[in-house]
Amino acid sequence: MDFLSNLPGIILALIAFGVLILVHEVGHLVAAKRSGVLVEEFWIGMGPTLLSHQFGETKYCLRLLPIGGACVMEGEDGDDGSVSDRAFSKVSRWRRFIILIAGVTMNFLMGFVILLFILPGAQDGRIVVPTLDGFYEGFQHEGEDGLMVGDTILEIDGYRIHQRSDVDMAIMQGAADGKFDITVRRDGEKVEIKDLPMQPNVEVDGQMKYGLHFATVEATLPVRIQTAFWESVSLARVIWDSLGQLVSGQVGVDQLSGPVGVTAVMSQTAKVSFQSFLYLVAFISINLGVMNLLPIPGLDGGRLLFLLVEAIRRKPLGPKLEGYVNAAGLVLLLGLMVYVTGNDMIRLLG
């Protein structure tokens, strides 16, 4: 019964996954064709082929599992001497860079467009900004040595503040002692406030908060664009910080989620509101962009790393070596996907 009740959300999540993958691969496809590279196959999904059709020189396929895709170009694993002049390995390094970066660019662009559409932080046609226009009763640190009305928060403990939501993220990551180094713009000048003690001890609408009240500005088109851009940057920072915690051991690999876990979260989010669902889709789109830029063999970032090595050496690596490294990277990524999918299933069934 639970599965049936979640089915509409699951279908919506799978469609969203398919669109994100499609957007990424279309970026590669368009860039490759514009660069004159022969695209042999273009497919969305993994596993058995459901549909396929040959359009011109490219075979297009739809596969069963909506968790991957590929834009297969001639000679993308190096030049072994048997490729034509339209092979990926034959075009200039600059064109190859454009082709490789096009996929993640499309993911970042899609995330930005979604955020521009739903406009996070908007209230009745206005946007909340990180400028203080007052304090709730009970706030104890107002004054020249603390915070003042009109202050625009620029940094909290070194975390750059571009928009209102960055304040929450910076406070969440702040020092355990509840003291913050805050940089503000006050009367046109930067003012640094050291070790400002703040605790969520001010009651606002039945919740304990820090007692800050932020100003709003009219949501004009430039403000909307700026807000969507900085929200995209903020989401990318969250992902990057999470990767840092994973590398440092603060977060274990067993806490990662794969397609099954993400689909479950998307399905539940769709029940809350469609806007929340779209926000999550934007986050995942930007996440795909960041992850694909990692210098891991098998990902776009790995291929960009090979391109950088080639530019430094002024000659490409051997095609066999590049092919082996990329294949090994794909095997490791597939193994990780199987592992996190297993964890997702255990969590869902548990």
Asked whether the beta carbons of 73 and 58 are under 8 A apart, the reply is no
Residue 323: per-residue pLDDT: 72
Q: Is residue 241 part of a domain?
A: no
The CATH number for 174's domain is 2.30.42.10
* List 25, 74, 76, 231, catalytic entry: 25
Q: Are residues 70 and 137 in the same domain?
A: no
Over residues 308-318, the mean pLDDT reads 81
Cα–Cα distance measured from residue 173 to residue 307, given in angstroms and rounded to the nearest whole number: 36
Q: Pick the more confident residue, 28 or 338.
A: 28
Note whether 176 and 102 are same-domain residues: no
State the pLDDT confidence band at 13, using cuts at 50, 70 and 90. Answer: confident
Query: Which range of residues forms the domain containing residue 108?
Result: 2-120+257-349
Query: Are 268 and 160 found together in one domain?
Result: no
Q: Are residues 43 and 78 in the same domain?
A: yes
Tokens at 300, concatenated? 């776009």
Count structural domains, the chain.
2
Residue 224 included in any domain: no
Is residue 116 located within the same domain as residue 8?
A: yes
CB 155 within 8 A of CB 185: no
Mean pLDDT over the full length of the chain? 85
Predicted pLDDT at 315: 79
Q: How many CB atoms lie within 10 A of CB 68?
A: 19
Answer yes or no: is 245 within a domain: no
What integer pLDDT is reported at residue 67 of this predicted model?
76
The predicted-structure confidence for 149-167, as pLDDT tens digits, reads as follows: 999 999 999 999 999 989 9
Of the residues 170, 197, 218, which one is the last residue of a structural domain? 218
Say how far apart CA 156 and CA 144 lie, in whole Å.
17
| Confidence at 1, pLDDT banded by 50, 70, 90 | very low
d(CA 144, CA 300): 50
Q: Please report whether residue 250 resides in a domain.
A: no
Residue 5, pLDDT above cutoff 70? no
Task: Over range 172-197, report the average pLDDT.
Answer: 88
Residue 249 lies in a domain: no
Active site residue 25: yes
Lowest mean pLDDT among 133-137, 259-263, 294-298: 259-263
Structure tokens, 50 = 């459901």
Q: How many percent of the chain have pLDDT more than 90?
A: 37
Q: Are 23 and 106 in contact (CB under 8 A)?
A: yes
Question: What is Dmax (Cα atoms) for the chain?
Answer: 76
Tokens 């046109």: give the residue: 188
Q: Is 173 domain-assigned?
A: yes
Per-residue pLDDT tens over the stretch 86-126: 888 889 999 999 999 999 999 999 999 999 988 876 777 88
In a domain, 227, yes or no: no
Instruction: Return the SS3 of 249.
Output: coil
Looking at the fold, whether 261 and 114 belong to one and the same domain comes out as yes
Q: Which of 162, 190, 218 is the last residue of a domain?
A: 218
**Taken in order 207, 213, 214, 218, is the CA torsion positive or negative?**
positive
Print burial letters for 268-290: b (CB count within 10 Å at least 16), e (below 16). ebbeeeeeebbbbbbbbbbbbbb
114 and 133 together in one domain: no
Which letter does DSSP use for residue 200 in this model?
Answer: S
Give yes or no for residue 137 having a pLDDT over 80: yes
Structure tokens at 112: 């930005």
Cα 90 to Cα 148, 253, 321, 349, distances in angstroms = 61, 39, 18, 50
Same domain, 17 and 104: yes
Is 246 inside a domain boundary?
A: no
Is 160 found in the same domain as 90? no
Q: Note whether 111 and 158 are same-domain residues.
A: no
The model's pLDDT over 221-264, given as tens digits with 9 standing for 90+, comes to 899 999 999 999 999 988 888 877 777 777 666 666 777 777 77
